[in-house]
A and B are shown apart, each in its own frame.
Chain A
Amino acid sequence: MTNTLGRPDFDVIAGWVEPGHRVLDLGCGDGALLKHLIETRNVQGWGVDIEDANVLAALRNGINVIQSNLENGLKDFADDAFDHVVLSRTLQTVRHTEGILREMLRVGREAVVSFPNFAYWQNLRSVLDGRMPVSEDLPYQWYDSPNVRFFTLLDFEALCEKMGLTIVERRVLDEAGEIIQAESPRDLNFLGSLAVYRLTRPR
């Protein structure tokens, strides 16, 4: 298995952006994804993060970064300002789930969302064994987890349908970062540790 910087979803996302695209990365951390996209895909990138340490690290990485709280929406960003708005492994930490998804598709043509799938069979087994799951994609103990929303791949797709969002593409990865080649959503929901979606809204 090869993937970039130990982040298999980065390569999936890199495959969805075109050179010159404007990319906004919400919860950008130290800017590693944007740096990767700038270097490999020649995009224009901006990141958003609330943590002091992440803003400093992103700036050190030469990334444009805006310190802001995603829970307050994206009011500093104009409509349709970006080609892609990325929310990588962050949706489960945001309380206003529908709000942030709507905001992403207001400021961007496409939303790219990746999140850990709580229905992954190893996670289910862990719960059946009596303990909350801890894994590559869920690397926290229950008491120190930043996650506030616990949902599965099928839950997410149901929400997209309710909100009228179009799922353009879906990639589901196992814990090793390999893309799972199953067809049925139920199988993917069972086998996938991390899901990456490409969404649009009808205009």
Chain B
Amino acid sequence: MPGIGVVESQRIHFSEPLHLRSGGILPAYDLAVETYGTLNAARSNAILVCHALSGHHHLAGHYADAPDNVGWWDNIIGPGRPLDTDKFFIVGLNNPGGCHGSTGPSSINPATGKPWGADFPIIAVSDWVNAQARLADKFGIDSWAAVMGGSLGGMQALRWSISYPERVRNALIIASAPKLTAQNIAFNDVARQAILTDPDFHGGHYYEHGTRPVRGLRLARMLGHITYLSDDQMGEKFGRELRNSSFAFDYDVEFEVESYLRYQGDKFAGYFDANTYLLMTKALDYFDPARLDDGDLVRTMARTHPDTNFFVASFTTDWRFSPARSREIVAALLANGRKVSYAEIDLNFGHDSFLMEDPQYHGLVAAFLGNIAL
């Protein structure tokens, strides 16, 4: 099936200050947004797709002047695809703090006239959800037909169902977790340390020095990438393949897996903003909606709406956000008698599985969304 085709993005300005979980304030901000499909007269067919660590508003299709710049979740969005643009109005945005057109650390701080840099306030998942709620208000959307996301995006969908229960009719929480484990926070901290200790970081004010902490960001991404893949998949894809036929006995690229990781690291460091990366990893670490209920997720999920339908999915080879973590969400929903379905999908791509096209995975999403009465 052909995809959505040519799409356009827009920037929407919000002049009302956003008060943040950290105590900080974002005085005014822009959000980069894309929408696909048509909002119906009742404004009842809107689906919000929340992005993960490195994502943004460009979910699907391509730009007229950049046919190769295809949206990051294009395989699931479009006419006849699980997020069917003939039925639904799909909304994607770049979250505040991002580096793809929304206000973030590389934007100008109105108080100083210089880039925010390290002064950009720390942002929490709940702050993003509040910003997204204002975006819904702008569109005149009282309640989303669905809020959906994978990984950190799934955390936003979960947070939506807790913070704005009456505004979420369906929630799809994929390859996510109710909070990070110590191991997960540890990975994030190594990634942050790589950036923070890069001599080009300049305490986060590298924009003014005309540099970027490319080395640190590259290392952070390489580490992250390892954790997004499965051991089996890496074995199958690279094994111990060498780029040349014999050992070179030096420190240059030899194994194919090294070549791949360095390429991924270089590519990412070439366009992503290091301060945004730091912010995103902190948002992941801080996410723990049960914290305000003494860590009791069952009590937290009691805040969700009894009529909200939940679809929770995990992937068998995902060790960064393992199936057991998704099951914690499911168990807490079940303990409250909530309407929840859970699938453990057998895919070989580790955490990245949630971005893959698979008949079972996409069939489940299509089936769940197919039950939505508009």
Contact = CB atoms under 8 A, between A and B. Distances in A.
Interface of A: 22, 44, 46, 52, 55-56, 58-60, 62-68, 75-78, 81
Given A60-B370, A62-B371, A66-B340, A55 B364 contact: yes
B330 interface: yes
A56 B364 CA distance: 6
Given A52-B346, A64-B341, A67-B344, A59 B368 contact: yes
B339 to A, nearest CB: 5
The 9 A-B pairs with the shortest beta carbon distances in the complex, nearest first, are A59-B367, A76-B331, A60-B367, A78-B335, A66-B342, A67-B343, A62-B371, A67-B344, A65-B341
Interface of B: 298, 309, 311, 327, 330-331, 334-335, 337, 339-346, 360, 363-364, 367-368, 370-371
A105 B340 CA distance: 22
A126 to B, nearest CB: 37
B343 A55 contact: yes
B371 A81 contact: no
Contacts, number: 56
Nearest to B323: A67
B339 A56 contact: no
B236 to A, nearest CB: 21
Contacts of B368: 59
B364 A59 contact: yes
A27 to B, nearest CB: 16
A64 B337 contact: no
B364 A76 contact: no
A56 B337 contact: no
- The prevalent SS among residues of A at the interface is mixed
A44 B337 contact: yes
Contact of A56 (B327, B346, B363): B363
30 contacts: A22-B337, A46-B340, A52-B345, A52-B346, A52-B360, A56-B360, A56-B367, A58-B341, A59-B311, A59-B343, A59-B364, A59-B367, A59-B371, A60-B370, A62-B371, A63-B341, A64-B339, A64-B340, A64-B341, A65-B341, A65-B342, A66-B330, A67-B342, A67-B343, A68-B342, A76-B334, A77-B334, A78-B331, A78-B334, A81-B337
A177 B341 CA distance: 32
Nearest to A48: B342
A129 B337 CA distance: 51
Given A64-B339, A64-B340, A81-B335, A76 B327 contact: yes
B132 to A, nearest CB: 26
Given A56-B360, A60-B367, 7 more contacts: A22-B337, A46-B334, A52-B360, A55-B343, A59-B368, A66-B341, A68-B344
A58 B368 CA distance: 10
Nearest to B346: A52
Contacts of B335: 78, 81
Given A76-B331, A77-B334, A78-B334, A59 B360 contact: no
Contacts of A67: 342-344
Contacts of A68: 342, 344
Contacts of B342: 65-68
A75 B324 CA distance: 11
A56 B334 CA distance: 19
A128 to B, nearest CB: 43
Nearest to A45: B339
A22 B306 CA distance: 14
Contacts of A76: 327, 330-331, 334
B152 to A, nearest CB: 23
Contacts of A22: 337
Contacts of A60: 367, 370
Nearest to B312: A66
Contacts of B311: 59
Contacts of B339: 64
Contacts of A55: 341, 343, 364
